[in-house]
Amino acid sequence: MSVENMTVTTIFDKSQEGRKGLNLPVLDVEAKTTLDSSLLRKEKAKLPQLSEFDVVRHFTNLSNKNMAIDKNFYPLGSCTMKYNPKIAERVAGLEGFSSIHPHVITNNMNEDVQGILETVDMLEKNLCEVTGMKKFTTTPQAGAHGEMLGIMMIDKYHRSKGNKRKYIIVPDSSHGTNPATATMVGYEVITIKSDANGGMDFDDYCAKMNEDVAAVMLTVPNTLGLYNPRIKQLCEVAHKYDALMYYDGANMNAIMGVARPGDIGFDVIHINVHKTFATPHGGGGPGSGPVGVSEKLMEFLPDLGIKKVNDIYEFTTGGKNSIGKISPFFGNYGISLRAITYMTTLGGNGMYNTSSKAVLNANYILNRLKDYFDVPFGNKCMHECVISAKTLAKGGVTAMDIAKYLLDFGMHAPTVYFPLIVKEAIMIEPTETENKQTLDLFCDTMIDAVNLAKKAPADFQHYPKTLGVCRPDDTMAIKNLNVRYEQ
Ligand SMILES: *Cc1c(COP(=O)(O)O)cnc(C)c1O
């Protein structure tokens, strides 16, 4: 079925003249308005008329059409769709946190928000502890926003020394936001190819490094789910030329409690707390991308921080070298609260166990599937694994076909066709919150798909069969989405 033909029963279709979900008392004062009659409606607004029960049932059914982490296995690589404990929602919803007016901050009424500032301080300190960085700001509102801040600070670092640099190095496996960020801040991107082990080619890296390179941006573990054993050396080479090391820590699920980017030699890091530290995300919902810096970049941190003076938290603005404001108030504070709740609930050992289990789960899947798919970079991985449907595709069944097949079995598809350097890539991130039965069900379904692909490849054109829409044109579905109701 094409998208153009897809019909949805809207709440307007269910409307019945005169049906109500609300009874108001009879009017006992004169009905009168001071508005000019030209401003008044001539006819009644066309609102749907339903009972409360009709409305509840309508929206409950609509919500059930969503794929969601609370309903389905969601192994979307690079996105860390893990279970988000409900205690984090409880805390973020507490009246004292959720009802405070943001302008309390700009009016410098800090005595009214000491508890809030304490949680900001706790999060900054916890993130420093987990990453080994000197100082964090929680103001960036997404991962990509954090990257932008990080590279702007690096830019200012070089300028403050009187030398504007030209290039930023990224590996060809990098997350797309890395070269995009470098370009937006005004740098040219030097791309280094991956070697046979999936790491950045070391010799080529050394050859391309020079005094015009401002920074090296690395996603760690990289998008192939691999940790580069030469990472310390990469930092040393960059630092010889005073190029700074940027750690894309959007996905900390493999290394929290295990290794610390600051100890390895990185100068700046952003963390997607909405991936690693418990926030339901996806569909463009709010995120938060705190940024941590080493000593070298402290003076460039953005406006709005806190410090404790005589046991009282005070607001601070950036110093004379601050890059200025990047976000109103303390960013998406509700996300910070969820993160601090999650971290405090787990504790240090809990974080270590979380990473260990995330890595174990990904390796379990890789090893159950390795004989059925192409495996581009060995039998071991970190928190996610990348396999490929290259051989299957020769018989007519592509990575996209496998992804569509899975939908009929109540699972979200893994990330496909990314990273770009793997043909027919399928990138699977199970996360630590899934049990063995779920992982086995997923692997069994993937293996069934491979067997079916060999026997009856043509069948794959018809999946998914159960979801109302089968194969919309992906581009048109985004660019020409028409959700307007015509009465
Ligand atoms: C998700 C992700 C980002 C971007 O984060 P947003 O919050 O979506 O802006 C950057 N890098 C990596 C490796 C990611 O997985």
pLDDT digits (tens, 9 = 90+) for 85-108: 999 999 999 999 999 888 876 666
Six token digits for residue 462:
């018809």
As a whole number, mean pLDDT of residues 141-163 equals 97
pLDDT of residue 109: 66
* pLDDT bracket for residue 5 (50, 70, 90): low
pLDDT of residue 102: 82
Per-residue pLDDT tens over the stretch 379-419: 999 999 999 999 999 999 999 999 999 999 999 999 999 99
Nearest to 182 by CA among 143, 142, 152: 152
- For 57, residues 6+ apart whose C-beta sits below 8 A from its C-beta are none
Distance of CA 297 to the CA centre of its chain: 25
For residues 250 and 220, what is the distance between their CA atoms, to the nearest angstrom? 9
* pLDDT bracket for residue 2 (50, 70, 90): very low
Per-residue pLDDT tens over the stretch 411-427: 999 999 999 999 999 99
- For 23, residues 6+ apart whose C-beta sits below 8 A from its C-beta are none
Mean pLDDT (the chain, rounded): 93
Q: Residues with beta carbon inside 6 Å of ligand 1? A: 78, 142-144, 175, 177, 219, 248, 250-251, 272, 287, 289
Per-residue pLDDT tens over the stretch 6-47: 667 889 999 999 999 888 899 999 988 899 999 999 998 889
Query: Residue 113 has what DSSP assignment?
Result: G
For residues 402 and 423, what is the distance between their CA atoms, to the nearest angstrom? 14
Nearest CA to ligand 1 atom 5: 143
| Secondary-structure class of domain 86-346 per CATH | alpha beta
For residues 73 and 410, what is the distance between their CA atoms, to the nearest angstrom? 8
Nearest CA to ligand 1 atom 8: 143
Nearest CA to ligand 1 atom 3: 143
Q: How many CB atoms are closer than 10 A to CB 314? A: 13
Ligand 1 pocket test target in 78, 148, 431 with most atoms within 8 Å of CB: 78
Per-residue pLDDT tens over the stretch 336-358: 999 999 999 999 999 999 999 99
- For 480, residues 6+ apart whose C-beta sits below 8 A from its C-beta are none
| Residue type, position 123, single letter | L
As a whole number, mean pLDDT of residues 304-317 equals 88
Six token digits for residue 56:
């509840």
Measure 176 CA to ligand 1 centroid, in angstroms.
Answer: 9
pLDDT of residue 363: 98
Nearest to 135 by CA among 149, 115, 156, 116: 149
At 347, which helix (H) or strand (E)?
helix 333-369
Q: Find tokens 């610390």 and name the residue.
A: 260
Phi/psi region, residue 305 (left: phi>0; alpha: psi -120 to 50; beta: rest), is: beta
pLDDT greater at residue 109 or residue 453: 453
